[in-house]
């Protein structure tokens, strides 16, 4: 694959280890006393900060013991093969055996195989985690560089960025509304059933963007979502593509949205109308079917509820379905993410037609927005969310935010624009806008 470099030079893009040692990794997990707020432990200016948090549990990490950058259609498979090799040779000593302890890699993958963003799988050199009241610290290094004891320190609170401007990305709001109208016409004439149309906006700041500030704000305000950061991609997603834990796979599928008003009584009435909206139920059904169909070949039994529930978030409410299955084969969480991506919650139905419409009408590279983001452990267990409600830090003072909406025959373009604005709120608020 070839991409244009910034000076217009054509550069070959290849899958390559960013940092790999020829000697095996040495991994130590020690149980520690509860360290409190995990985000506050990320050192100021830490290299490669990573985060995966929900309701106070999860982990933060920093430093890089190993990493691989992959591209194209094999971006998942190449990362998986590299991970297997790393795991096979690693020497692990762990006092805790909870998901996320021991050797873990954190990753994020582009929505499209054509995106130069490709995929990254990264092994932090320090991880601090907590789950169900048990806390740990993991260190990872090459044998020649065995780490000393990690001193955990609470950093001084990070400063808030000062937003100096915000502008449309690939399309203006009006152009995007026209693109949505074009998508609706194609659906109405029978070209496809559903497509998810996304847009981007760019936010500039006068001071450097400190990821810790955004992470702290997201984790506090959206604590029932998964707050994540991997390689400059930061967000708080309510959608779990899949969790694999000890032979069980679960997925939280979202599609169908209504904005909240801030008035609890009114929001309750809106939740009722969302649960009865035939347009939203149709949009939701495509998403559930896409995930259930992709999971079925890997499962000996599955539970797919017949009707969705309404998930309440501070900015919006979604139709949500939790699917569960018993795996009948040894397929890793990353392999599962590869087979489930892209679900109709971010692409559409049929998948290939929707993918082509997205490439034609959105006129932007989604990068790692709407791709799988999460982590995998040495057993192949892990959690992969869909990178939604997020931004990519493009420079110390610029971040690009993304939001998308499922479009079906009954969609109203201006209502979709308003819905995309509501989906941008978590990141806008985190930035202090
Ligand atoms: C594509 C996004 O949301 C998806 C997930 C939940 C609800 C959605 C919707 O109602 O359109 C989208 O399918 C996004 O937030 O960028």
Instruction: Grade residue 146 by pLDDT with cuts at 50, 70 and 90.
Output: low
Question: What pLDDT score was predicted for residue 148?
Answer: 67
| Mean pLDDT, the chain, integer | 93
Q: Residue 238 contacts by C-beta under 8 Å, 6 or more apart in sequence?
A: 222, 224, 225, 226, 252, 254, 311, 313, 318, 320, 388, 389
Q: Nearest-CA neighbor of 96 among 14, 29, 171, 146?
A: 29
Atom of ligand 1 nearest to the CA of 287: 13
- Check pocket membership of 51 for ligand 1, CB cut-off 6 A: no
Does position 8 have pLDDT exceeding 80, yes or no?
Answer: no
Residue 21 pLDDT greater than 90, yes or no: no
Torsions phi, psi for 39 (to 5 deg)? -60, -35
246 carries an active-site annotation: no
CB-ligand 1 contact for 346 (6 Å cutoff): yes
Enter the DSSP assignment of 133. Answer: T
Q: What is the ipTM of this complex?
A: 0.99
The single residue of 80, 194, 283, 383 carrying the catalytic annotation is 194
CA 42 to centroid of ligand 1, rounded, Å: 30
Q: Examine the pLDDT at 139 and tell me if it is beyond 60.
A: yes
Mutate to test the pocket of ligand 1, among 318, 387, 401, 428 (most ligand atoms within 8 A of CB): 318
b/e code 14-28 from CB counts within 10 Å (16+ = b): ebeeeebbeeebbbb
| Measured distance between the N- and C-terminal CA atoms of the chain, rounded to whole angstroms | 39
- Mean pLDDT over 211-233 rounds to 97
pLDDT digits (tens, 9 = 90+) for 321-348: 999 999 999 999 999 999 999 999 999 9
Q: What is the mean pLDDT of residues 262-277?
A: 96
345 in contact with ligand 1, CB cutoff 6 A: yes
Predicted confidence (pLDDT) at residue 20 exceeds the cutoff of 80: no
Tell me, using a 6 A CB cutoff, whether residue 388 lines ligand 1.
yes
The tokens for 6 are 């910034």
* Short-list 119, 113, 41, CA closest to 342: 113
Mean pLDDT of 366-370: 98
Residue whose CA is closest, atom 8 of ligand 1?
255
Each residue of 340-367: b (16+ CB within 10 Å) or e?
A: bbbbbbbbbbbbebbbebbeebbebbbb
Tell me how far apart the alpha carbons of residues 366 and 239 are, in angstroms, rounded to a whole number. Answer: 17
405 lines ligand 1 (CB under 6 A): yes
Q: For residue range 94-137, what is the model confidence (pLDDT) as tens digits? A: 999 999 999 999 999 999 999 999 999 999 999 999 999 999 99
Measured in Å, residue 169 CA sits from the centre of ligand 1 at 19
Q: How confident is the model at residue 142 (pLDDT cuts 50, 70, 90)?
A: confident
Axis-axis angle for helices 75-89, 333-340 (nearest 10): 180
What are the extents of the domains in the chain? Answer: 2-145+164-430
Pocket test for ligand 1, best of 274, 275, 346, 400 (most atoms within 8 A of CB): 346
CATH 3.60.120.10 fits 2-145+164-430, yes or no: yes
Q: How confident is the model at residue 16 (pLDDT cuts 50, 70, 90)?
A: low
Active site residue 423: no
Annotated catalytic residue within 47, 95, 174, 239: 239
Query: Is any atom of ligand 1 closer than 6 Å to the C-beta of 316?
Result: no
Average pLDDT over residues 399-425: 98
Percent of the chain residues topping a pLDDT of 90:
91
C-alpha to C-alpha distance for 205 and 287, rounded to whole angstroms:
36
pLDDT at 147 over 70: no
76 touches 107 (CB < 8 A) = no
- pLDDT tops 60 at residue 68: yes
Q: Ligand 1 within 6 A of 240 CB? A: no
Which atom of ligand 1 has the smallest separation from the CA of 239?
5
């Amino acid at each position: 694959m070839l991409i244009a470099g910034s000076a217009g030079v054509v550069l070959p893009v290849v899958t390559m280890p960013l940092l790999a040692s020829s000697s095996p990794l040495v991994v130590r997990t020690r149980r520690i006393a509860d360290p409190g707020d995990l985000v506050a432990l990320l050192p100021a200016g830490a290299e490669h900060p990573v985060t995966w948090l929900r309701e106070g549990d999860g982990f933060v990490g920093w430093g890089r013991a190993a990493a691989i950058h992959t591209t194209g259609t094999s971006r998942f498979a190449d990362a998986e093969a590299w991970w297997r090799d790393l795991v096979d040779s690693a020497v692990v000593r762990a006092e805790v055996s909870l998901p996320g302890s021991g050797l873990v890699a954190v990753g994020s993958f582009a929505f499209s195989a054509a995106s130069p963003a490709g995929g990254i799988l990264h092994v932090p050199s320090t991880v601090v985690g907590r789950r169900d009241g048990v806390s740990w610290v993991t260190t990872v290094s090459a044998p020649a560089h065995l780490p000393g004891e990690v001193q955990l320190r609470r950093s001084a609170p990070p400063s808030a960025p000062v937003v100096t401007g915000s502008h449309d990305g690939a399309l203006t709001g009006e152009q995007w509304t026209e693109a949505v109208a074009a998508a609706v016409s194609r659906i109405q004439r029978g070209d496809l059933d559903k497509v998810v149309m996304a847009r981007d906006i760019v936010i500039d700041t006068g001071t450097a963007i400190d990821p810790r500030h955004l992470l702290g704000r997201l984790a506090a305000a959206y604590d029932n979502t998964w707050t994540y950061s991997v390689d400059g991609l930061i967000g708080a997603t309510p959608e779990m593509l899949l969790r694999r834990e000890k032979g069980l796979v679960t997925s939280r599928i979202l599609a169908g949205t209504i904005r909240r008003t801030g008035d609890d009584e009114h929001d309750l009435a809106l939740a009722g109308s969302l649960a009865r909206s035939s347009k939203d139920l149709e949009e939701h059904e495509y998403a559930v079917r896409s995930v259930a169909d992709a999971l079925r070949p890997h499962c000996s039994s599955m539970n797919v509820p017949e009707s969705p529930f309404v998930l309440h978030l501070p900015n919006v409410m979604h139709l949500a379905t939790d699917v569960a299955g018993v795996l009948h084969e040894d397929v890793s969480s990353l392999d599962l993410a590869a087979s489930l991506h892209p679900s109709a919650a971010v692409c559409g139905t049929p998948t290939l037609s929707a993918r082509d419409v997205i490439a034609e009408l959105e006129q932007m590279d989604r990068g790692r927005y709407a791709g799988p983001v999460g982590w995998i452990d040495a057993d192949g267990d892990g959690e992969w969310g869909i990178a939604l409600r997020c931004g990519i830090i493009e420079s110390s003072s610029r971040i690009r935010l993304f939001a998308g909406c499922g479009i079906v025959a009954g969609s109203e373009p201006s209502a979709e624009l308003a819905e995309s604005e509501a989906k941008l709120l978590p990141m806008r608020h985190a930035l202090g806008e």
